[in-house]
Structure 1
Amino acid sequence: MSFRIKRLSADETLRAASALGAVLKDCVDGGASVSFMAGLTLDEATAFWARAAAAQAGDGRAVLAAEDDEGLFGVVQVIAAGMPNQPHRGDVAKMLVHRRGRRRGAAEALLAAAEDAGRGLGLTLLVLDTVTGGEAERLYARLGWERVGVIPNYALTPDGELCSTTYFYKLI
């Protein structure tokens, strides 16, 4: 089954908040350490995306979604640093793919779209972090992202276990 990557406006992000919330909830339910703990409700996940849409309206972040005939199943954000001494830098945040959409190349397509969106925002440096030892870490390294280092015991997995975080950057 094919899919497409599309950039959402702030209004589209708000309208898609429930679908994006379902992606976030599925990732957390699957054990992804993406800032939320086990027991995340769909309402809480939807509220996160509604807040992201409001932030997008103010800061111009890029929200990119993977969609197929069943609906949205992946998302990533590119958020400009916004600091006077860092107009060239942005963060790749909340790169999420629902379990139903994995192993189809969506994460790679979302990351390529994020890099393109970063260039479109006038950025030349992107930074991201991910759980050390996970599939995402291998994906970023394979796609040319430079590993900076590991911070041990940086965050908790949804079930409350400490996990390390690996930081990456890419000059775009």
Structure 2
Amino acid sequence: MTIDLSLFTAEDISHELPELAKLLHDCVHAGASIGFIMPHSMEDAEGFWRDKVAGPVASGTRLLLVAKDGARIAGAVQLDYDTPANQPHRAEIRKLLVHPDFRRQGIAKRLMATIEDEARRLRRSLLTLDTRTGDTAEPLYAAIGYHTTGVIPGYCRDTHKDRLDSTTIMYKNL
């Protein structure tokens, strides 16, 4: 297996919309807490990429880094650098996704290392993110140098269950 990483343009998003939707759809169905709840359709997933991501990518305020195994999308992460004038040094990591079939192969670490390099290229020295407290991503972020600033209880609905989950807010200085 050879995983290639590349930055996607808005045109790439349009061209790869079915594969991106499958990535998101399958991650949500596997329980990922990334802003969606069940039921979650392929149309919902396509709408996210088309309506929420393609515009900021096209306008130059967000990067989308995608990991591919041949024609199949294995993972993705976004860097949102649409910040106020008093925060030109900061960016936010959004929606680190690794398809369930590709987990535990180092893809998340590669995506994060590469998106951090892109942040440096954009002269961003502080990255922030949030993750569901106790989720498998939380120790990954800690292992690659992110620090916890706090936990917000009852932050979001669970993907599958009728309950509220906490979120952990993290940061990393580059």
TM category, shorter: over 0.9
The answer (yes or no) to whether the contact 1:20–1:73 under 8 Å persists in 2 is: no
The answer (yes or no) to whether the contact 2:77–2:95 under 8 Å persists in 1 is: yes
Q: TM-score, normalised to structure 1's length?
A: 0.95
The answer (yes or no) to whether the contact 2:33–2:132 under 8 Å persists in 1 is: yes
Are 1:73 and 2:93 matched, yes or no?
no
Q: What residue number does 1:6 align with?
A: 6
Which 10-residue stretch deviates more, 156-165 or 132-141? Answer: 156-165
Q: What residue number does 2:165 align with?
A: 163
Which of structure 1's runs of 4+ aligned residues deviate more than 4 A? Answer: none
In the alignment, structure 2 segments of 5+ residues that lack a partner are none
Query: Using the alignment, how far apart are the partners of 1:9 and 1:70 within structure 2?
Result: 17
Query: Using the alignment, how far apart are the partners of 1:13 and 1:120 within structure 2?
Result: 22
Query: Using the alignment, how far apart are the partners of 1:69 and 1:58 within structure 2?
Result: 28
Which 10-residue stretch deviates more, 93-102 or 63-72? Answer: 63-72
The answer (yes or no) to whether the contact 1:153–1:164 under 8 Å persists in 2 is: yes
The answer (yes or no) to whether the contact 1:10–1:56 under 8 Å persists in 2 is: yes
Query: Using the alignment, how far apart are the partners of 2:54 and 2:104 within structure 1?
Result: 28
Query: Using the alignment, how far apart are the partners of 1:9 and 1:149 within structure 2?
Result: 34
How large is the RMSD of aligned CA atoms in angstroms? Answer: 1.2
Q: What residue number does 2:38 align with?
A: 38
Q: What residue number does 1:133 align with?
A: 134
Q: What residue number does 2:95 align with?
A: 94
Q: TM-score, normalised to structure 2's length?
A: 0.94
Amino acid at match of 1:153: G
Q: CA deviation at 1:108?
A: 0.5
Query: Using the alignment, how far apart are the partners of 1:14 and 1:122 within structure 2?
Result: 28
In the alignment, structure 1 segments of 5+ residues that lack a partner are none
Which 10-residue stretch deviates more, 152-161 or 126-135? Answer: 152-161
Query: Using the alignment, how far apart are the partners of 1:16 and 1:165 within structure 2?
Result: 30
